[in-house]
Structure 1
Amino acid sequence: MKILVVEDEQKLAGFMVQGLVQAGYLVQLSNNGAEALTKATSETFDLILLDLMLPGMTGIDVLKNLRTYKISIPVIIISALGGTSQIVEGLDLGAVDYIRKPFEWEELLARIRILQRKVFSSESTRIGVNDLVIDLMSRQITRNGKQIVLTGKEFALLEYLVRNTNRVVSKNQILENVWNMDFDPESNIVEVYMYQLRGKIDKGFEQPLIETVIGIGYKLKGTKSSL
């Protein structure tokens, strides 16, 4: 599940991103409404966690623009403006839930899980790429019927590759989307995790799925389908 966090309070934003990444989610962060709208219209997200009191373009403005562009990403409002007309307006504009600041972390995770169940109940949670099957809800992975056990971060990396099947993704894109890090030429974290993932996904199978595109990045190649 890929989540866009829209929060301008630096300390809270960092706490939310770190917690969501540790929970196994793919996370992007925007600290203002205009940037959040740009990300939401150019990338695919499963959920937006949206503060209302943002510099420049407010959260309400973001919601209005999302609906204007007919972008139906579920939105959970997270705001200190409890009981105000802005909350009602946000829900009327299509937000699916509201959490008041300060909030309990476990409550936020529970609300996200509830949303996941609602979304996945109306569509398949399983994606296939050739003989690889990944279940986004149960986090179970099999290849040619053989069960594969991944760590949380390995699963997040595989999910990102599956979402971009047959597209080359750069090291920078992987760092930003899986680790929520800026490019660091000294870091080899992507290479280390890609090596580990290949050892579990490709080792022992006749046809490798993960391909290195020299000088550019990586690609998961195959025929993608919903199961």
Structure 2
Amino acid sequence: MKILLAEDDIKLGKIIRHMIQKENHQVELVDNGRDALDFALIAPYDVIILDWMMPKLNGMQVCEHLRQHGYQGGIIFLTAKDEINDIITGLDHGADDYIVKPFKMEELLARVRALSRRKEKTFEQEIKVGNLTLYLDSLTLYRHHEKIVLTKKEYQFIEYLFRNKGRILTREQILERIWGLDSDVTDNALDALVKLVRKKIDQNQTPSLIQNVRGIGYKLRDDDV
């Protein structure tokens, strides 16, 4: 799934993002309500996780605006407010779920999984690029009816590219997405991963579907997306 996380505590936000990414979801992190609203109105997110108290716009304002403009995905509030009236207010303004700080990370991950099951019909289930189809529910890649066997990291890399087709992903973004925060993995590991994925999806065709953007990172070729 593609998830937007809005949390003004950057340290906490990075921890939450890392834990959700470990479950093979793509996560964008912003630290204020205005950016959360702007991101959500531009890109399709399956789930949005909103801190209640944020600068510029609070989570309630973001949630209400999104629902008024037809957003159908899941919304989860993170907040220190634990009064029943606050919970009711959040749900009445369009939230699907509500988690009170402090919370255990396992609880948040379980709520995300539960929300995805309840709303699975609204989520993107497959992404097509050329003659390749990525099935997000089964974590598999096919060329026509032929399955391409991928390792966990190979799948994470190709899913990240497919979900961001047309966009350049920096080496730093890819390293953090696949190996996680504070990893000491080298650029050589990413280069080796790209080489393995290209070999599996290109079938010796040139140029590769995965374009190297010199000095920056990688993207899918525009003429194939």
- Alignment TM class, shorter chain as reference: 0.7 to 0.9
Contact residue 79 and residue 100 of structure 2 kept, 8 A? yes
Contact residue 171 and residue 190 of structure 1 kept, 8 A? no
The two structures have a TM-score, normalised by structure 2, of: 0.78
Partner SS state of residue 86, structure 2: helix
Distance 1:11 1:174 in 2: 17
Contact residue 128 and residue 134 of structure 2 kept, 8 A? yes
The aligned residue for residue 218 of structure 1 is: 219
Distance 1:173 1:221 in 2: 22
Distance change in 2, residues 1:13/1:222 (3 Å): same
Distance 1:208 1:126 in 2: 24
Contact residue 168 and residue 213 of structure 1 kept, 8 A? no
Deviation at residue 11 of structure 1 after TM alignment:
2.9
Deviation at residue 42 of structure 1 after TM alignment:
2.1
Distance 1:130 1:72 in 2: 28
Distance change in 2, residues 1:175/1:72 (3 Å): same
Deviations along 1:109-147, whole A, 9 cap, x unmatched? 222122222333466723333432221112122224333
Deviation at residue 221 of structure 1 after TM alignment:
6.1
Q: Which has the higher contact order (CA 8 A, sep 6+)?
A: 1
The aligned residue for residue 9 of structure 2 is: 9
Distance change in 2, residues 1:176/1:95 (3 Å): farther
Partner SS state of residue 44, structure 1: coil
Contact residue 157 and residue 174 of structure 2 kept, 8 A? no
Contact residue 77 and residue 97 of structure 2 kept, 8 A? yes
Distance 1:58 1:46 in 2: 20
Deviations along 1:157-180, whole A, 9 cap, x unmatched? 322332344x25353795499469
Distance 1:64 1:131 in 2: 40
Give the RMSD, CA atoms, in angstroms. Answer: 3.2
Gaps of 5+ in 1: none
Aligned length: 218
Partner SS state of residue 78, structure 2: strand
Q: Is 1:38 the counterpart of 2:38 in the alignment?
A: yes
Partner SS state of residue 160, structure 2: helix
Partner SS state of residue 70, structure 1: coil
Deviation at residue 28 of structure 1 after TM alignment:
1.0
Worse-superposed segment, 40-49 or 126-135: 126-135
Aligned amino acid, residue 107 of structure 2: E
Distance 1:18 1:30 in 2: 14
Aligned-residue sequence identity (percent) comes to: 33
The aligned residue for residue 21 of structure 2 is: 21
Distance 1:59 1:117 in 2: 23
Partner SS state of residue 54, structure 2: coil
Distance 2:127 2:209 in 1: 16
The aligned residue for residue 169 of structure 1 is: 168
Distance 1:2 1:177 in 2: 16
Distance 1:118 1:209 in 2: 38
Distance change in 2, residues 1:57/1:10 (3 Å): same
Contact residue 4 and residue 45 of structure 2 kept, 8 A? yes
Contact residue 73 and residue 122 of structure 2 kept, 8 A? no
Gaps of 5+ in 2: none
Deviations along 1:68-110, whole A, 9 cap, x unmatched? 4333332111222123433222211211111222222222222
